[in-house]
Amino acid sequence: METTNKANTMMAELKTLCNKDNIVLSLSQYEKLVGYALLLEDWNNKINLISRKEDAPILIKHVFHSLLIGLFHQFSSSEKVLDLGTGGGLPGIPLAIAWPDTQFLLVDATGKKIAACQSMIKSLDIKNAVAVHSRVEELKGMSFDTVLSRQVAQLEQLCSYASKILKPGGRLICLKGGNLDHEIKKALAGKKEKGSFPSVVEQFPVSGYSPCFTEKHIVIAR
């Protein structure tokens, strides 16, 4: 009974935010997103997946934050997406729920985090996401239209990984915090060693979407 009340309150909160920002989702997608936030909280009590600082609800700080990528990039049905360093499934699981026709591969170097992702994907019956225990450098014979990454590495390093696995014309989309000017300059300066990737880097502030996202940006490298 208590869990149902908590889930209903969370659903109402998420709906308010999504409606305000024109993120259109069905009831079953809201249920899965709330279900994911609850499972992530449970798993986080067992293994370290996300920060344990209780400064903001998981649903906003992690789930809604991941969904914001969809406001800056429309995923398509034929698109192949990699979530590099997914940890507990961020941003890959919320985006797979929101974009059920797009295929998401979630990879992480830590096996127990991937085991948690696999369990959550199964419990939530998410058909378009697969979680694999691997370092990104070890993915062989695979290429992607889009590489996503949240809180994994400096942009220059992420561009180096992405340049080897992106299809021509693909993009790297990162969720990052702080002042990124120096990081972006370094990524652009290092492009000669990475087959001219990236040629363009854009950053979009997301602080307007919630007070939880002060100094946070979406960075898109092409």
Residues that bind ligand SAM (CB under 6 A): 50, 85-88, 90, 107-110, 113, 135-137, 150-152
∠203-99-58 over CA atoms, to 5°? 70
Nearer to ligand SAM, 15 or 132 (CB): 132
Can you read off the two tokens belonging to residue 208?
A: 């307007």
Is 90 annotated as a binding-site member? yes
Nearer to ligand SAM, 32 or 216 (CB): 216
Is 109 annotated as a binding-site member? yes
3-state SS record for 16-69: HHHHHCCCCCCHHHHHHHHHHHHHHHHHHHHCCCCCCCCCCCHHHHHHHHHHCH
Q: How far is the CB of 119 from ligand SAM (least distance, A)?
A: 16
Exposed/middle/buried for 137, CB within 10 Å: 0-12, 13-18, 19+? Answer: exposed
Is 4 annotated as a binding-site member? no
Nearer to ligand SAM, 89 or 170 (CB): 89
Is 214 annotated as a binding-site member? no
Is 137 annotated as a binding-site member? yes
Phi and psi dihedrals of 75, rounded to 5?
A: -75, 145
d(CA 116, CA 90): 12
Q: How far is the CB of 214 from ligand SAM (least distance, A)?
A: 17
Instruction: Compute how many other C-beta atoms are within 10 angstroms of the C-beta atom of residue 100.
Output: 16
Is 16 annotated as a binding-site member? no
Nearer to ligand SAM, 101 or 137 (CB): 137
Q: How far is the CB of 4 from ligand SAM (least distance, A)?
A: 27
d(CA 162, CA 171): 8
Q: How far is the CB of 153 from ligand SAM (least distance, A)?
A: 6
Nearer to ligand SAM, 25 or 69 (CB): 69
HSE of 175 in the Cβ direction (CA atoms, 13 Å)?
29
Which of the 8 DSSP states describes residue 74?
-
Q: How far is the CB of 125 from ligand SAM (least distance, A)?
A: 22
Binding residues for S-adenosyl-L-methionine: 85, 90, 108-110, 136-137, 150
Binding residues: 85, 90, 108-110, 136-137, 150
